[in-house]
Amino acid sequence: MKSAPDRFKNMSNDAIIHIATYLELDDIFNLCQISKNFNILICNNKSYWINRLKQDWDIIYDPANDKSPKEYMKEIVEQLDYDAIRFRLEESVKQYLKNKNYDMVKATIKYREPDDNDIRFLMISAIMLHNIELLKYLFSLIPLTVQADILKNDNLDYYASGVWDPEGNTEEDLEIMGYINEKGKELKII
């Protein structure tokens, strides 16, 4: 029995890489099994997987990671699929923050595609957890009009002011209040 021709054999490398950036992981792994060219150019290409981590999840691959970029991508997707079935967005994000797994925080947020209300809730959580990096990341995900609306109506400065915290303002609280103030000035709200 004659096998099907490898349709990628006559395509340019750039075209194959371009196509691969839009494919789901399952499709990529299936193509790697049936196309020698695709397997060499994509599946065994460390740079492709490093770029894909950045493109899909805003994750900068750490070369010190004990997993290859491809294995790391596969692990992230499997974990996201598992979490999506079992946990609410806020539960997943809080758990990853607690474990200081910031790659999974970003991936979870991108994977779940939160609406503006979810973003608002996550911003308040970021403030209460004293996590300015998450707050900045969340602001970067939403349009300026929504940023302005949140700053006008959601009293983020209240949460950052330490009112809810019996210990008072921490250094992190002051940094977050400063960031919120700067954001307000930038958007001409304050």
Per-residue tens of pLDDT for the chain, all 190 residues = 455 556 777 888 898 888 899 999 899 999 888 888 888 899 999 999 999 999 999 899 999 999 999 999 999 999 999 999 999 998 999 899 888 899 999 999 999 999 988 998 899 888 888 889 999 999 999 999 889 888 888 777 777 766 555 566 778 888 888 899 899 899 887 6
Buried b vs exposed e over 39-67: b needs ≥16 C-beta within 10 Å? Answer: bebbbebeebbbebbeebbbbebeeeeee
190 within domain boundaries: yes
Instruction: Give residue 98's pLDDT.
Output: 86
Instruction: Give residue 1's pLDDT.
Output: 47
Task: List the domain range (segments joined by +) for residue 146.
Answer: 114-190
Helix (H, G, I), strand (E, B) or coil at 77: helix
**For residue 49, which of 33, 66, 73 has the smallest C-alpha distance?**
73
Instruction: Give residue 106's pLDDT.
Output: 92
Tokens linked to 34: 């049936």
Tokens linked to 63: 């070369």
**Number of domains comprising the chain:** 1
63 within domain boundaries: no
16 within domain boundaries: no
180 within domain boundaries: yes
Instruction: Give residue 184's pLDDT.
Output: 87
Tokens linked to 39: 């397997």
1 within domain boundaries: no
DSSP per-residue letters across 102-125: HHHHHHHHHHH---HHHHHHHHHH
178 within domain boundaries: yes
In whole angstroms, give the CA distance from residue 146 to residue 134: 17
156 within domain boundaries: yes
In whole angstroms, give the CA distance from residue 185 to residue 80: 36
**For residue 52, which of 93, 32, 15, 23 has the smallest C-alpha distance?**
23
58 within domain boundaries: no
Amino acid identity at 93: V
